């Protein structure tokens, strides 16, 4: 398999390769927490889909009639090992995976602002199971590199990617805090559903800009509070039951963060209220979901009494 690092002249290749070696040694240990996801990944090593379709709402990898009954059962069982599925939907050899999020809605909203990805080096920070990376393939990028620090999503993506044979897609078991390893590397960066989880969002935006090539484009999607003022809510403990939520900004606050960190041509291109049609409990994600996060008597508030979230989308350039 090709390595995207061969193309990235400015990346800190030694450090990235050292991290890979370290990660591989760590994950090779027979620990329960690793085996739980590594074994399902290894179980489907022999499967390669003949048919793929990344242009539809459900990312489709293989058709049911490509496999015999034993392999079909194995696929069904293995896909269940990666529960809860947060992002999707996927259709894997006819197994329909209805994830918590109807992620195609987010993808469709950002399409009008999508820069030309043809031949581009793209990063998807916090890529989860890679739903959006697969959808990007329709736009012919050179490479898409997902950064994802969680093992469940990392192995889930690797399993899907191998069956799909999508050679342009890569993943590193890393977080946004590792972005300084990639100076001046990316033409396009997606940062979606991440910024409100960061304790230093402004510093992160600065570091991401340093990872972008001149003229690069950032697509930023975030939870937001309603309002025109450039302010951010800082919850006492949780926001919509989610711990690890720090600054929940208004759209204009996000715009100001981008401007102050040196981005240009900053545009807010979409804003909409969240809904329990878009994020809900399914057979593949059986825990609480959006409607459980709101005040049952007043859906304009979260259970903590804060304003219920909007989702906002911004596009910005790195000069
Ligand atoms: C709310 S989800 C958003 C997923 C996807 N980007 C989207 O917009 O649908 C946040 C993702 O970020 C990942 N994540 C958690 N900590 C992170 C970090 N330090 N750096 C990058 N991603 C992180 C989570 O595992 C999860 O996949």
Which of the four pLDDT bands, split at 50, 70 and 90, describes residue 318? Answer: very high
C-alpha to C-alpha distance for 90 and 160, rounded to whole angstroms: 10
> So where are the chain's domains?
4-17+100-317
**pLDDT higher than threshold 90 for residue 116:** yes
Per-residue model confidence (pLDDT) at position 203: 98
> Domain 4-17+100-317: which CATH class?
alpha beta
Q: Which long-range contacts (CB under 8 A, 24 or more apart) does 78-83 make?
A: 78/40, 78/43, 78/44, 78/159, 80/284, 81/36, 81/37, 81/39, 81/40, 82/37, 82/40, 82/129, 82/152, 82/155, 82/156, 82/159, 83/284, 83/285, 83/286
Ligand 1 contact, 148 CB (< 6 A): yes
Cis peptide bond N-terminal to 84, omega within 30: yes
Report the relative pairing of strands 90-92 and 121-125 from DSSP bridges: unpaired
Distance 71 CA to ligand 1 centre (A): 31
**pLDDT higher than threshold 80 for residue 1:** no
Distance 13 CA to ligand 1 centre (A): 24
Per-residue model confidence (pLDDT) at position 192: 98
Per-residue model confidence (pLDDT) at position 134: 98
Per-residue model confidence (pLDDT) at position 146: 98
**pLDDT higher than threshold 90 for residue 2:** no
Contact residues for 250 (Cβ-Cβ < 8 A; gap 6+): 224, 225, 226, 227, 228, 229, 230, 231, 232
DSSP letters along 187-222, please? EEEEEES-GGG-S-HHHHHHHHHHTEEEEEEEEEEE
Ligand 1 contact, 311 CB (< 6 A): no
- State pTM to two decimals: 0.98
Ligand 1 contact, 193 CB (< 6 A): yes
Ligand 1 pocket test, pick from 132, 178, 194, 197 with the greatest ligand atom count within 8 Å of Cβ, gives 194
Per-residue model confidence (pLDDT) at position 198: 98
Per-residue model confidence (pLDDT) at position 140: 98
Per-residue model confidence (pLDDT) at position 211: 98
């Amino acid at each position: 398999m090709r390595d995207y690092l061969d193309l990235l002249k400015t990346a800190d290749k030694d450090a990235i390769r050292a991290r890979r070696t370290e990660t591989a040694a760590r994950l090779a240990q027979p620990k329960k927490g690793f085996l739980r996801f590594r074994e399902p990944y290894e179980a489907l090593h022999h499967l390669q889909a003949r048919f793929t379709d990344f242009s539809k709402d459900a990312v489709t990898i293989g058709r049911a009639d490509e496999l015999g009954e034993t392999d079909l059962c194995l696929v069904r069982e293995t896909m269940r090992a990666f529960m809860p599925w947060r992002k999707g939907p996927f259709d894997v050899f006819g197994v329909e995976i209805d994830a918590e999020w109807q992620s195609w809605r987010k993808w469709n909203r950002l399409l009008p602002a999508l820069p030309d990805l043809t031949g581009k080096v793209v990063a998807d920070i916090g890529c989860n199971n890679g739903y959006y990376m697969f959808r990007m393939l329709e736009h012919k990028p050179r490479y898409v590199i997902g950064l994802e620090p969680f093992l469940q999503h990392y192995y889930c993506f690797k399993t899907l990617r191998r069956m799909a044979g999508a050679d342009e897609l890569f993943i590193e078991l890393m977080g946004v805090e590792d972005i300084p390893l990639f100076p001046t590397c990316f033409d396009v960066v997606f940062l979606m559903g991440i910024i409100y989880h960061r304790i230093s969002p402004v510093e992160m935006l600065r570091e991401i800009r340093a990872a972008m090539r001149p003229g690069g484009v950032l697509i930023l999607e975030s939870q937001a509070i309603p309002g025109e003022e450039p302010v951010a809510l800082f919850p006492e403990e949780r926001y919509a039951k989610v711990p690890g939520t720090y600054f929940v900004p208004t759209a204009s606050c996000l715009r100001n963060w981008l401007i102050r960190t040196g981005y240009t041509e900053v545009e807010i291109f979409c804003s909409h209220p969240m809904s329990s049609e878009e994020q809900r409990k399914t057979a593949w994600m059986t825990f609480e979901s959006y409607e459980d996060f709101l005040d049952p008597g007043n859906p304009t508030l979260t259970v903590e009494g804060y304003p219920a979230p909007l989702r906002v989308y911004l596009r910005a350039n790195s000069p």
